[in-house]
């Protein structure tokens, strides 16, 4: 069946690249992916399928039914973009100010769409047991993310496997990174609001110097939280924003800090919020500053199931050869794909997207882009892995 899949993918690659570019030019933020959702609905309906928009209003699921009894295999893509400028110089660069597909979600979407179209075509000419469910997840970049809605609506319940992939600009196109066990970390967001009476910089001793308090908090917070969690080697805490004041001679009355708390271990993640809420008052004791803490829990670590990885491994070797399959390193990044692993055996692959003729750009860089040959590779990978999962797993 591999040859049939190759032929069907080859006949759709041009369309899928164009679809990806369409999304790239019109990116949408988390929970605002209405046009993206509608574009997917329309294309799937043309293929004779029946997509269903999630109850939250964006994102969708669509079943590709086989022609024989069998299990359910889920293929997942994320569809939202980032709140950042697009620094690329391409014909398909973002036309939306301050919004960009700088994480490859547009490619993930095109790949899962392509896999669905190929599987639909296969059912007309060959035996395909069971059902493949396409999940186009909204709000992956939000906490806790749209995967919660997918799970709560029951779209993962009863699945034999959940499979997905993520663009990796550190891996060359034509290579796939796989790993059994933990792949990513958990990531939460924290906002700390500070308040004081404010005052004149000539008389800091008569007020609360919030800039000084902020500096002390930024320096002490990571170590204090990590020690309270009890897993300092597997915890990364970094401040991404600090705002206070506007004038050089005014001590501000308010300040805001935002950071991420990343934990490699799920147990550490479970302890993180309490550690933060205990650490802040301990650090600020005696400073005179009042504070509020807003803690936004994200997703747990992605932990790849061995049996699900075996499907991706076999498919990857068929698509890119033995030398094209690499061991993916563990990452302190996070992904809402992790939520699916609580419901069904799941596996997440790293899809090489780097082209040798351009500099390596990290995810979330404003100049991030992909070698679009990766789209066809991704479609072949997920299609063959899904077919293997349908054949090998008993019906539920």
Provide the domain limits for residue 207. 191-299
CATH code of the domain in which 203 resides: 3.30.70.360
Cβ contacts of residue 221 below 8 Å, gap of 6+? 237, 239, 259, 279, 280, 283
342 in the same domain as 307: yes
pLDDT digits (tens, 9 = 90+) for 153-207: 999 999 999 999 999 999 999 999 999 999 999 999 999 999 999 999 999 999 9
pLDDT, the chain, mean: 95
15 in the same domain as 150: yes
Q: Compute the C-alpha angle 114/105/272, nearest 5°.
A: 135
d(CA 291, CA 192): 7
Q: Give the pLDDT of residue 234.
A: 87
Three-state DSSP at 381 gives helix
358 in the same domain as 307: yes
Total count of domains within the chain? 2
374 in the same domain as 255: no
Domain boundary among 299, 329, 351: 299
Q: Compute the C-alpha angle 215/220/222, nearest 5°.
A: 115
Domain boundary among 283, 299, 315: 299
278 in the same domain as 135: no
Q: Give the pLDDT of residue 232.
A: 64
Q: Give the pLDDT of residue 393.
A: 67
Q: Which residues of the chain have pLDDT under 50?
A: 396
User: DSSP alpha helices (H): ranges in 230-262?
Assistant: none
309 in the same domain as 281: no
Q: Give the pLDDT of residue 396.
A: 46
d(CA 140, CA 389): 25
CATH code of the domain in which 112 resides: 3.40.630.10
Domain boundary among 268, 299, 330: 299
**DSSP class of 155:** S
pLDDT digits (tens, 9 = 90+) for 219-232: 999 999 999 998 66
Identify each DSSP E strand in the chain by its residue range.
52-53, 60-65, 68-78, 129-137, 161-172, 176-178, 181-182, 186-195, 199-200, 235-244, 250-251, 254-263, 290-299, 303-304, 325-327, 346-354
Comparing C-alpha atoms, which of 366, 335, 345, 341 is closest to residue 108?
335
306 in the same domain as 176: yes
Percentage, residues of the chain above pLDDT 70: 98
pLDDT digits (tens, 9 = 90+) for 283-296: 999 999 999 999 99
208 in the same domain as 180: no
Task: Give the number of other CB atoms < 10 A from CB of residue 13.
Answer: 17
């Amino acid at each position: 069946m591999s040859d049939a899949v190759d032929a069907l993918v080859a006949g759709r690659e041009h369309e899928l690249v164009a679809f990806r570019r369409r999304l790239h030019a019109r990116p949408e933020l988390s929970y605002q992916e209405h046009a993206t959702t509608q574009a997917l609905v329309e294309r799937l309906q043309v293929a004779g399928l029946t997509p269903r928009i999630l109850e939250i209003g964006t994102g969708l699921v669509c079943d590709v039914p086989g022609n024989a009894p069998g299990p359910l295999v889920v293929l997942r893509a994320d569809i939202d973009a980032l709140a950042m400028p697009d620094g690329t110089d391409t014909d398909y660069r973002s036309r939306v100010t301050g919004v960009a597909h700088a994480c490859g979600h547009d490619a993930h979407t095109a790949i899962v769409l392509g896999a669905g179209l190929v599987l639909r075509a296969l059912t007309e000419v060959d035996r395909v047991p069971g059902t493949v469910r396409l999940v186009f997840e909204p709000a992956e970049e939000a906490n806790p993310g749209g995967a919660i809605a997918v799970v709560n609506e029951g779209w993962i319940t009863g699945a034999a496997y959940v499979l997905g992939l993520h663009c990796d600009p550190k891996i060359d196109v034509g290579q796939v990174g796989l790993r059994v066990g933990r792949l990513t970390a958990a990531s939460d967001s924290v906002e700390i609001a500070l308040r004081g009476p404010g005052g004149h910089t000539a008389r800091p001793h008569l007020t609360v110097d919030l800039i000084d308090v902020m500096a002390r908090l930024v320096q002490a917070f990571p170590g204090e939280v990590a020690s309270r969690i009890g897993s300092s080697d597997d915890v990364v805490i970094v401040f991404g924003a600090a705002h206070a004041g506007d004038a050089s001679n005014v001590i501000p009355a308010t300040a805001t800090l935002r950071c991420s708390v990343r934990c490699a271990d799920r147990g550490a993640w479970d302890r993180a919020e309490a550690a933060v809420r205990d650490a802040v008052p301990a650090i600020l004791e005696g400073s005179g500053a009042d504070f509020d803490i807003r803690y936004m829990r994200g997703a747990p670590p992605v932990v790849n199931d061995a049996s699900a990885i075996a499907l991706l491994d076999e498919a990857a070797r068929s698509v890119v050869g033995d030398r094209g399959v690499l061991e993916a390193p563990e990452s302190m990044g996070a992904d809402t794909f992790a939520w699916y692993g609580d419901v069904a055996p799941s596996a997440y692959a790293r899809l090489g997207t780097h082209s040798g003729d351009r500099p390596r750009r990290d995810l979330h860089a404003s100049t991030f882009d992909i070698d679009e040959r990766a789209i066809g590779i991704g479609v072949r990978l997920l299609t063959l892995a899904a077919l293997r999962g349908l054949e090998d797993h008993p019906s539920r």
